[in-house]
Amino acid sequence: MKDARESEAGEAAISPTMQHVFGPVPSRRLGMSLGIDPVPLKTCNHSCVYCQLGRTRRLARERAPFFDVADILCEVAHVVEGPKGGGIDWITFVGSGETTLASNLGLMIRGVKTMSDLPVAVITNGSLLHLADVRDELQAADAVLPSLDAGSAGLYRKINRPPRELGFEDHVRGLVEFRRAYRGELWVEVMLLGGVNDTEAALQDLAAVLQRVAPDEIHLATPTRPPAEPSVVPPGPDGLDRAAAVLGRVARVLRPVHVDGTMTAGEDAVAAVQAIISRHPLEESEIKGLLTRWVPGRVEEAWAELTEREEIRSVDRFGKRFWCAGDMEFPRQDRTAGR
pLDDT digits (tens, 9 = 90+) for 39-58: 999 999 999 999 999 999 99
* 279-309 confidence digits (pLDDT tens): 889 999 999 999 998 899 899 999 999 999 9
Instruction: Classify residue 266 as left (phi > 0), alpha (psi -120 to 50) or beta.
Output: left
Q: Are 92 and 121 in contact (CB under 8 A)?
A: yes
How far apart CA 24 and CA 311 sit, in angstroms, is 21
Q: Is the dihedral of CA 105, 110, 114, 119 positive or negative?
A: positive
Amino acid identity at 84? K
DSSP designation for 280: S
Better-scored residue on pLDDT, 339 or 202: 202
> Is residue 222 predicted with pLDDT exceeding 70?
yes
71: CB partners within 8 A, 6+ apart: 16, 19, 20
Residue 333: which of 316, 320, 312 has the closest Cα?
316
> Is residue 7 predicted with pLDDT exceeding 80?
no
Residue 24 preceded by cis peptide, ω within 30: yes
Kindly indicate the confidence band of residue 134, based on its pLDDT and cuts at 50, 70 and 90.
very high
pTM exceeding 0.85: yes
Q: Are 119 and 142 in contact (CB under 8 A)?
A: yes
* 55-102 confidence digits (pLDDT tens): 999 999 999 999 999 999 999 999 999 877 778 999 999 989 999 999
Kindly indicate the confidence band of residue 240, based on its pLDDT and cuts at 50, 70 and 90.
confident
Kindly indicate the confidence band of residue 10, based on its pLDDT and cuts at 50, 70 and 90.
very low
Kindly indicate the confidence band of residue 330, based on its pLDDT and cuts at 50, 70 and 90.
very high
How far apart CA 124 and CA 102 sit, in angstroms, is 11
Kindly indicate the confidence band of residue 249, based on its pLDDT and cuts at 50, 70 and 90.
confident
pLDDT, residue 260, reads 58
Q: Can you tell me whether residue 34 is helix, strand or coil? A: strand
Q: Are 21 and 76 in contact (CB under 8 A)?
A: yes
Instruction: State the DSSP H helix or E strand holding residue 286, giving kind and residue range, or none if neither.
Output: helix 284-294
Length of the chain: 339
How far apart CA 314 and CA 305 sit, in angstroms, is 14
Q: Is the dihedral of CA 271, 36, 47, 101 positive or negative?
A: positive
